[in-house]
Structure 1
Amino acid sequence: MKRKRDKSYKKAKQTGRNSDWEKFRQLRRQASKAAAKSYSDYLNNHIGESLKTNPKQFWSFIKANKRESIGIPTLQTHGQIITNDGDKANTLNNQFSSVFTQEIYPIPHLAPSTYCDIPFLEIELDGAIEKPR
């Protein structure tokens, strides 16, 4: 199905006809549905069954598909290994603050503009400009 879909995409891209694009969309939907059904069947028939018969296979699948973040790994700075979260935060803060430019204080004030203010304009729907009264 994926090969048919890809071939149909290539043809639609070359010809640019709406009928070819519609055929591609239909094949894309069918391929997506087939892939989802196949994955669901795999989960229900193989992985679900393996919980009772082969727990190692089940837990290997779970471990491979989990999306859990463990946080910031152990850091090393100046020959020291840092494992404490607070120390990690301070180390990263020191690193980032050392590479960015420090602002010059006080911030200089700009002189008043030498240009006059623009008067209020109201633009109508038809594009006409109405000047203030």
Structure 2
Amino acid sequence: DKSEYRYGGYHPVYIGEVFANRYKATKKLGWGEFSTVWLAWDMMDEQFAALKISKSAPDYRKASTWEVQIFERINLKLQGTEDEHTQKGLNKDGHNCLESQCVVRMHSSFDHQGVNGSHLVMVFEVLGPNLLS
């Protein structure tokens, strides 16, 4: 919806736009109520990443901040810093979570100042289609 591209709403990403002096937007992958998702080329690591760019309104930013905190907690568990069992990368059933394709990894997050406000950007590994697909 084009009406959501306003102050407090989506950031109007353009192909070739560079984020954090590192990620170059190449293709829009999708969108939702809170954000848009873009395929971006990581010019530092020379690989693709998925950028989830939140709307800039305070309520959306707050929800996105919670999402970052959740992914940071997941990353700690997957790195095995929670207890001895997860240090080996195993869950309670003995499944190796560190090798799992079931949990997306958030690499980092940062703020991006755009014409529609300050947007929280989350950087994820690229896996495949979204849940709706």
Taking structure 2 as the reference length, the TM-score comes to 0.23
The structure where strand makes up a greater share of residues is 2
Taking structure 1 as the reference length, the TM-score comes to 0.23
Greater gyration radius: 1
Higher relative contact order (CA 8 A, sep 6+): 2
The structure where helix makes up a greater share of residues is 1
